[in-house]
Every structure is written in structure tokens, then in C-alpha cells.
Structure 1
Amino acid sequence: MKHLPLLAGLCGCLPFGAWALELAPTTIDGAASNEPGLALDQSSGMASRLGLSVRETPASISIADRNDIERRGAKTFQDAANTLPGVNASAPPGFGGFISYRGFTSSQITQMFNGINVAGGLARPVDAWIYDRVELVGGPSSLINGAGSVGGSLNYVTKLATREEQAVEGQINYGSYDTTGIALGLNHALTEPGAEVQHYARLDVSRNTNHTHIDRQQRDAWSVAFSLLSDLTPNLSHTLALEYQDEHEDSPYWGTPVLNPKAGELKIDKHNRFNNYNVADGRYEQRTIWARSIIDYRINDSTTLRNTLYHLDSQRDYRNLETYQYSADNSVVNRSTAYQVRHQGEQNGNQFELRHDNSLFGLATTWSGGFEYKVNSTTASPLNVSGKNAVDPNHYDPGHFYDLPGTKPGFIKDKTTEVTTKALFVENRLGLTDKLSLLTGLRYDAIDLDVTSHRDNQPNVKRRWEPVTGRVGLTYQFIPSANVYVQYSTAAEQPTSTTQVFDVSTGKQWEVGSKFDYLDGRGSATVAAYHIERKDFAVTDPQDPTRSLAVGAQTSRGIELASSLRITPKLLAEGNFAWVDAQYDDFNEKIASGAVVSRKGNTPTNVPKRVANLWLTYDIAPAWQGGVDARYVAQVYADNANTLTVPAYTLFGTFLTYKVDQHTSVTGRVRNLTNEVYAQFAHVSPAYYLGSPRTFELAVQTKF
């Protein structure tokens, strides 16, 4: 019952009786507000190519903008994502950026960067400094970003140069476990006002180092983003955007083993929870280079186009001993799975879109259409050996990777996977009346998979899929400040297997919701209810455990609520709550004995039924501001049989900010105030991937 205080506070924040309150008029201008809140009239971002606001789009959309990121102390873009309704994100090594949302996980949640869908491994959390906002769209959204996205889509948007003459900002922070960070941002006009061609440049740089709460784990990360905005004519602009990210982690933490017997709620030895059972020279490294060329052209007052040409190059290296399990009497920890791999990835592509406003039979309408072409190539060079050995958890030598039998330096290519996507898409908004609008869209993808083996005993593979996905929605704006909407959307997901021929799996969603302001505009809220079906994904054949059948089925249904309320001129309350009921309708699993067992009716692993967030911010005095926050995540299952559970947890935090002057502020922050021991993620070993204990942080930030 530890979550009751949070839910009680959240219920006070969410306007369940708001329909009886006086609703306030609003002005839709598509711009974000500096005032904290849901900002329903800001751009909906990647949720639509029609230039609509969050309010106008018949879909569940949540955004954490730059103000939200800073006020809530989000250290990475994943921290920012966790502030959005229903999102439960973590970063266990080997799983990239793990997301659970609307009952789905992993590849069913698309993670994009600046509207570009990339390989999942690149979604490991990067310092939030270089990011302007994080956008979330609930449910199937293949219309926007192509294959995948059954559960939803996250989009991480980098800061770009603006038309400010000069803006400078910086931040220095220091915290527990010798965590340090330094960041600088500069936006500057390169030409004199009135020049025929105007140029503006922006540079953002951040560096973070820490030793973390886990023994021997150390991290060092750089992020650099540069952009040049050129107004070539009054109607034509070009943006060159470059990014470089470098992350280096020594002795990465791969989890804390659970105690025997493994049944019911899993337990750990809390006295040894900071132990790192990885080898002393364990390694994780990632280097990523982005380049984008963006053209914006206003053809006339009603027609615009945008073209984005991009290149991505990345390399990720792992060298770790990854699996840990206690012996039957919990006296020793058995270590295994020595894995070394290099992933070299390259993605090149182009997105073109054209938007046009006109009228159809006297009704106002907006069209958007375009095409996308991209080639994503990844080469894997793995080395996987057992690496079995046992250590005393109270006193052990971690050893070194190349001392394990079967290991050796160097990388030998295994296979190269190349996915070529060609897509056409069209979207339309039709104003049926001054209050009722219809949103429709279709997308056609031609996806070619080409797997080239670099080893003699593996075959080459070629596959092709041509899915068609879409969305249709109605929005009724019954007063200027409140609407209701209904939406139907579909998704398609290409198979993960390359050894058998399967068609794409499909997903569909029905969603109803409302977005509204209340109490004379002091509050705003959104509510959404949905039902999602995913089917025809691969499951084990019960008659032949060596084969798979494309008959899998999974459903989820849920409710999401979010609200922001200025209770008094000094007190702001913000919160969100999500409930989901997810289950397998047709799913078979091969267990250790070799038998195939049905998991029909079970909940997928690492899917919490409830997730909630609450923030209270109070302006103590003109120069002082303080606040508290809480986050609740319900228990999850660690296995598909639903016999092993990971307990729920509630995290509390607090902060105090002093404004030295109009430019500079100093913030002290405490995270995990009660020093809760909790698992962010459950490995299949099983093992806990533990979250951070109580930490302290001091940050100085300046803007001028």
C-alpha cells in the first residue's frame, strides 16, 4: 500500500470533476508557452505532418519541453521520457533504451531522433542538455514513422539554431558518487541585421562523469550538437545540423542476482546490492555521428515543403561477463555468458514532405504528402563463450575478460543486415464544420531485408514486405477550450526471424479522449482510453519446438490521465496516471525442459499495470522556489509464466532553487529521498537491474 500517498495526491491534481467546472477560452497558435503546464496549443511535433497543435490532433500526445526538462531535473532524455504518462524507461546494458508503454515493450515502441527512426541500440540515454523536447504518441503510429510502433512512439528532438541574435547558457553540477557535469550552449547571429542572407549558429556541448553507486562502474560521456541556420531568401532556409556522442563505461553493471528459492516475489541480498560481478575490464563504448541537411521552402502562402537528408554512423563495443545466479544455498554467485561484440551501423536517408492548405467543396482542408527513402546497415561481430566460474559474494576477485577460456581479442564479422525502406505517405485534415474535423492518413512501405553472412556455415537471406498502414480520427471542439476525439489507427511490424518466411505482424487501436482547459484557464488536462490488438507475430510451434508460427496475439487496454493546475499564484500541481491491462491471447514459449507451454492470458514481462507521477512546485519568495515529486511504478512479472514478480516502488524527491539574479540560479536536489531499494528492470536470469539509491546534487545554471 506504499503507493497510496502518491495516488491520493495525484487524485487531488487530476480534475475528475472538471466537466462541471467553468471552461476557459483559449487561442490556438501552435506555440509553446513558458508557463508550466500541458501547453495544449503547442505544436504536436511528429504526431502529424499537418502543422496541428496538440489540441487539434485526435491522438494521445504528451510532450516534455525544455522548461519541463529543466524544472524536473531530468539528467538524460530517458529521465524526461519517464515524466510522460505511462512510460517506464530504463537502460540495462544489452537492451538499449528499454521502454514499457501501453502494455508493449522493446521493438513495439519506436524511438526516433528528430523524426528519424533508427536502430534501437542508439536509444541508450544521452545527456539531456542537447535536447529541446521529448514527444510521445500513444498507440499504433506507423503512419508517421513506418514499420513498428504498435504501442507508441517516442521522439527525441535536438536543439537547433534559432533567429536570436545572441543567447548563452551554461550549467555546472556536482553530486553523489563523484558525479560531475558541465554544459554550455551558445546561439549567435553570424551576420548583421538587414543583411540579404542571414546566418545563425548554435553550439551545445556537455560532458558527464561519475563513478555510480555500483562498485567499480565508471562512466564518461560527451555530447556535442552544432547547427547552422541560413535564411537564404525570405521564403527559403537551410539548416545544417551535426551531432557527436561518445560514451565510455568501465565495468558496466549487468544486474544483481536474486536469492533462492526463486518463487513469488523475488528477493536480493541488500547488503551486497552494490556488488559488480562483471570482470574488471568489462567495457561498453558507443560513438555516434549524425549529419542532417534540412531545407524549408515556402512556395506561397498556402504551400510549404521540407526536405531532410541525413547520414548516421555509429559503433558500439561490448566486452562483459553478463549473467549471475546464486547457488542453491546462496553461498556463491555463479557467473557465465562471456560476450564480446562490435556493432557497426550506418543509416542514410531522405525525407520529403509537402503541405498545402486549400478548400474542398467549400470546406477548409490541409494536405500533407511525401516520400521517404532510407538504407539501414548493421554489421555484427560477436564472440560468445560460457565463461563459467563461481565467486564468493562477500570477497572476490572480478578477474579479467581475456583470462576466461575461449575468449580472445579482436572482432570477426558474423553478418551484415541491410534494410532498405521506400515509403509514400499522405495525410489530410478536413473541417467538416467550424467545430468538427476529420483527420485521415495512409502510408505504403516497401521494405527489403538483405542479410549477408560473413561465415561459411550461414546462408544469405532476402525478404520483402509491403505493408499499408493508416489513421482516421474525428475531433469535436464543442467549446474553444475543450474537445473530444475518437481515433482508429494501424501499425505493421516486420518479423525478427530471418530463418523462416513470415509476413508482417499487425496492430490496430481504438482510442477515445478529451483535451480541455478548466478553472478559467488555470488548469489543463487530457484523458484517453484505448484498446490495442497485436497479432500474427512469431511464437513457438507447439508441435515442433524448433520452428515458429506467425499466430501470436496480444491485447492491451488502458486509461491515461494528465493534468496541470495552478492551485494558487504560488502553488503549481502537475501529474499523470496510467493504467493498463495487457495480456497474451496466443503465445507459446519453449521452457528449459524442451516442452512448449502456452502463456495465454499472461502479462508480458516488465509491464507495470500502473504508473503515476506527481510534482508540486511552490514559489516561496521572489528568489526562492521549492518542490517535491513522487513516482509510482506497480509490480511487474519477471517471467512469461507470471510466477516471478518484482515489487512495486514509490520514489520521492525534493528540490530548492535560489535565483541569484535574473540570469543565474542555484538548485539543490535530492533524488530517491527515502533511499528505496527498487528494480528498474528484471533480467531473465532472473536478476534485478537496480535503480539508484538516495543521491544529492547541486547545480548552477545561467542564461543571458
Structure 2
Amino acid sequence: AARRTNYNILDNFASTENVFNRLRADLRLAPDVELRNESYVANQLLKWKNTESNTWNPVARNLTRGGLTLIYRDDILVGNRLDLTLRKPIAGHPNRLLLGGVFERNDQIRGGAAGNQVTAIPAVSLLDPVLANGPASRFQKTARIVVETHAFHLQDVFDVTSRLRAVAGVRYDHIALQRDTLANTTTATPTPFATYKKGYRTYTGRVGGVWILTKEINAYASFSRAAEPVTQLVSFTATSNDFSLQKGRQYEAGIKGTWLGGKLDATAAVFDLLKKDLLTSTLDPVTGLRINQQIGAQKSKGAELALAVSPGDGWRVEANVAHTDARFADFNENLGTSVISRAGKRPSNVPKWVANLFVAKRLAGGLAVSGGPRWVSDRFGNNNNSVVAEGYVTLDGSITFPWRRWHFSLRGRNLLDEDYQTVAGTTMRRLADPRSAEFSTRVSF
């Protein structure tokens, strides 16, 4: 019963306004030279009020609710991307070279509950909660974060032969972050803090090849390197200053084919991933505080297989399965009281197997019915693999119908009403939503 009970405050809400403007221009300077420019401006205004967590109190025999959560965002994103494409043969072989650059500035205002406001929410009964409005707390702007990105990229596609195509690319990124704390909401009287700055410079790239084996079958292989911050840049503070970029590399190879006049599609792929300096969080069993540290290395190897069949008469069947063997390769976990090696352990919330089956039928008048099951195998909820989250099978379905400029959709989720965990942890389990339905409509003009 508690699974279907809403313990939130009555005046919870989420309000958002999003505007995205884009201007794109294409200019052909010559038959084999093309210039493309895209400028964009996006704005988001969001206000959010609710309570985020519920904890059973066995002593008081009631449910302790988390404090009031207020989220305020006022963001504006401005950017421009310029690409130059050259199609000129090299030694008689077709070649396509792309040169480009990106400038982007993301100006973000963040906020929450003011430090001198009441945020406590009374506990309630587990099975018969008496709900009320939350505290009348106001939104407080707490930080302004400006992220500027300057990037330059180059990619080349060269036809070695009529059946072999080589691909190579490189990208340089310069990311500059400035965070100005507008108010410290942890004090009764909000106080300003100093400015925090951080910058990153990194090179990434990829090389690969595509082989046209027959008219119906292509094979490919690639190697790529990537890098990214340990967390979203908007969340960076001085405590994140010592963390380096997360770096990774990937090998991938696969084969794709189409048979039976386009009625059967199949894809098979294998991959090998290595990520270094990943950020992980550990709960100190003594103090109850979280300890952040970077993992030395995490490896993942696996394979994927996908099939799609269109037998005719409006039917389509798709099936896919993926196997992932993820392991910590170099990770000494700081538990607060000791350091223990987790090498060879599987990272939390990573299943070994995932499989999907999707069946769709298009009927007269544009009516379409689709749905299918999804299976996820067991996962671990902690780094030492002592907490197990059981696997599950869930079923989703949908009905869509077009009418003139309108498009109506009815979707059902978790139709089997499966009781399963989307996220598992040492002290926390996040249950998935029970059987639910949603209706949406879209109009084109």
C-alpha cells in the first residue's frame, strides 16, 4: 500500500518555461566546398517545490519526510557552430574533409530555499498519512555559473578503395568555468562568498574504418578517446577542484546487414571500454558522511545483437540483447576507517544482461499499436557486491492515432505492475512507478 501512497506536500509543483531559437544557413562556395553556420539561443526558467525523501522510523512508528526542497533555475544558452566541408579527391580517391569550430556560453542562475526560512516537514503515518501544505518558504538565488566552451574539430573520410572507407577525427576543447556564490543559504543571514574559477583543456579523437562486404552487408571497426568533468559543471565548487577529467577509450567492431529485400535487418557488435578517474561516493559507516574519490580504472567488455523483421501487412518485430562484463580494474575504496581493494568487483547498478522485444502493428486509418517486454538481470547495490537487486521483467505498450494535424498517443507503463528497483544502494532502494498510463497530443502547423 505504501508503494502507491503519495507522501508529498499538497502544494508541491514543478513549473518550467523553455524557449529554443535556432538560425541555420548553408552556403555553397563552390561545387565541392560548402559552408554551414548554426546560431542558437535557448532559455529555461524552472521553479520546483516538493519533499524528496521518505524514511521509516521504527522507533516512532511513522514516516520521516525529508526537508522542503526548492529548486530555482534561470538559464540562457548562446552558441554558434561553423563548419566548412571540402570534397576534393586525393590521388584519385574520394575524400571528404570537415573543419569546424564551436563557441558556447551558458549563463546559469541557481537557487533554493533561503537559509532563514523554515524547511522542516512533519512526519506522517505510513498507511494513513494526513497531508498538508509545506512551509511558506521563498526562493533564494544562491549562485551564478558561467560556462564558456571553445572547441575546434576536424574529421576526414577517405575512400581507400571502393569497398574500404577510412575515418579519422580530432577535437580540442577549452572549457572555462566561473561560479559566483550569491548567498550562503546554510546560515540564518545569507552571506556572499568569493568567486571560484576552473578551466580545462583536452584533446579527443577517433579512428576507424568501414568495409562494404556486399551490397547488403557492412562491417566497421573504431577506436576513440574521450574526456569529461567528473560532474556537471553547474555543480562544481571548490571541493571539486582537486578532481581531474574523467578519461576513457573505446574499441568497437561490428557488422550490419539487410536481407529479404529490406524486410530483415541485423546488427552485431562487440566493445571494450576503459574509463579512468571516475568519481565515486562512499558512505562512511562511522560518521555517516559521504567520501568522494576517483576510481583508478573501470573496464567493460560486451556484445550486442539486434534483429528487426518487417513481414508485411503493417507488422514489425524488433528484438535486441546486450551482455556487459563491467569490472573495477584499479579501485581502492576509502571507507573512512580503512582502504579496501575493489578490483574485480562489478560496479553498482550495472546489469550483465538486458533484453528487449518490441512488436508493432499499423492498422487502417493510421492507427498503430505497439508494445513489448524488457528484461534486466540482477545488479549489485554497492561496490563490494554484497547487496543484490533482483532482476525484473516489465511490459510497456502504446496506441497512437493521427487526425488531420493532430497526433494522439496513449502509453501504458509497467503493465504487469512489477515491483522492482530502478536504483539500488547500500541504505536506499528506489522503487519504480507502479502500473501507470499517460496521454499526450501533438499538433503540427
Q: 1:429 — aligned with what?
A: 157
CA distance in 1 between counterparts of 2:312 and 2:290 reads: 64
1:56-80, Cα deviation, whole Å (9 max, x unpaired): xxxxxxxxxxxxxxxxxxxxxxxxx
Q: 1:493 — aligned with what?
A: 228
1:189-225, Cα deviation, whole Å (9 max, x unpaired): xxxxxxxxxxxxxxxxxxxxxxxxxxxxxxxxxxxxx
Structure 1 residue 631 displacement after superposition: 1.9
AA aligned opposite 1:317: K
Q: 2:30 — aligned with what?
A: 300
AA aligned opposite 2:155: E
2:19 equivalent among 286, 289, 294: 289
Aligned ranges 1:147-546 → 2 under 5 Å: 271-328=1-58, 331-383=61-113, 387=120, 389-402=122-135, 409-455=137-183, 456=191, 458-496=193-231, 497-499=236-238, 500-538=241-279
AA aligned opposite 1:294: R
CA distance in 2 between counterparts of 1:550 and 1:682 reads: 21
Structure 1 residue 410 displacement after superposition: 2.4
1:530-564, Cα deviation, whole Å (9 max, x unpaired): 1111112445799xx99866553222222122221
Kindly indicate whether the alpha-carbon contact (under 8 Å) linking 2:36 and 2:82 is maintained by their aligned counterparts in 1.
yes
Kindly indicate whether the alpha-carbon contact (under 8 Å) linking 1:677 and 1:693 is maintained by their aligned counterparts in 2.
no
Please give the TM-score of this superposition, normalised by the length of structure 2: 0.83
Give 3-state SS (helix, strand or coil) of 1:650's partner: strand
Structure 1 residue 419 displacement after superposition: 1.4
Kindly indicate whether the alpha-carbon contact (under 8 Å) linking 1:474 and 1:485 is maintained by their aligned counterparts in 2.
yes
Structure 1 residue 417 displacement after superposition: 1.9
Kindly indicate whether the alpha-carbon contact (under 8 Å) linking 1:428 and 1:439 is maintained by their aligned counterparts in 2.
yes
Kindly indicate whether the alpha-carbon contact (under 8 Å) linking 2:387 and 2:425 is maintained by their aligned counterparts in 1.
no
Kindly indicate whether the alpha-carbon contact (under 8 Å) linking 2:349 and 2:381 is maintained by their aligned counterparts in 1.
yes
Structure 1 residues 546 and 571, CA gap change in structure 2 (3 angstroms): closer
CA distance in 2 between counterparts of 1:495 and 1:696 reads: 35
Give 3-state SS (helix, strand or coil) of 1:479's partner: coil
Residue-pair matches, total? 424
Structure 1 residues 319 and 603, CA gap change in structure 2 (3 angstroms): farther
AA aligned opposite 1:419: V
Structure 1 residues 667 and 345, CA gap change in structure 2 (3 angstroms): closer
Kindly indicate whether the alpha-carbon contact (under 8 Å) linking 1:429 and 1:438 is maintained by their aligned counterparts in 2.
yes
Kindly indicate whether the alpha-carbon contact (under 8 Å) linking 1:540 and 1:596 is maintained by their aligned counterparts in 2.
no
CA distance in 1 between counterparts of 2:75 and 2:332 reads: 33
2:379 equivalent among 636, 642, 656: 636
Kindly indicate whether the alpha-carbon contact (under 8 Å) linking 2:65 and 2:121 is maintained by their aligned counterparts in 1.
yes
Q: Percent identity?
A: 26
Higher relative contact order (CA 8 A, sep 6+): 1
1:310-352, Cα deviation, whole Å (9 max, x unpaired): 1121122222221212223794222223322312222111111
CA distance in 2 between counterparts of 1:703 and 1:420 reads: 35
Q: 2:302 — aligned with what?
A: 558
Kindly indicate whether the alpha-carbon contact (under 8 Å) linking 1:565 and 1:572 is maintained by their aligned counterparts in 2.
yes
1:549-608, Cα deviation, whole Å (9 max, x unpaired): 6553222222122221123556432122222222333445565x7666554434333333
Aligned ranges 1:620-699 → 2 under 5 Å: 628-653=371-396, 671-682=413-424, 686-693=428-435, 695=437
Structure 1 residues 331 and 572, CA gap change in structure 2 (3 angstroms): same
In the alignment, structure 1 residue 572 sits paired with structure 2 residue 307? no
Structure 1 residue 471 displacement after superposition: 0.7
CA distance in 2 between counterparts of 1:290 and 1:432 reads: 41
CA distance in 2 between counterparts of 1:701 and 1:319 reads: 28
Q: CA RMSD in A?
A: 3.5
Give 3-state SS (helix, strand or coil) of 2:39's partner: strand
Kindly indicate whether the alpha-carbon contact (under 8 Å) linking 2:387 and 2:426 is maintained by their aligned counterparts in 1.
no
CA distance in 1 between counterparts of 2:95 and 2:382 reads: 49
CA distance in 1 between counterparts of 2:408 and 2:198 reads: 56
Please give the TM-score of this superposition, normalised by the length of structure 1: 0.54
Gaps of 5+ in 1: 1-270, 403-407
AA aligned opposite 2:316: L
1:221-243, Cα deviation, whole Å (9 max, x unpaired): xxxxxxxxxxxxxxxxxxxxxxx
Structure 1 residues 276 and 618, CA gap change in structure 2 (3 angstroms): closer
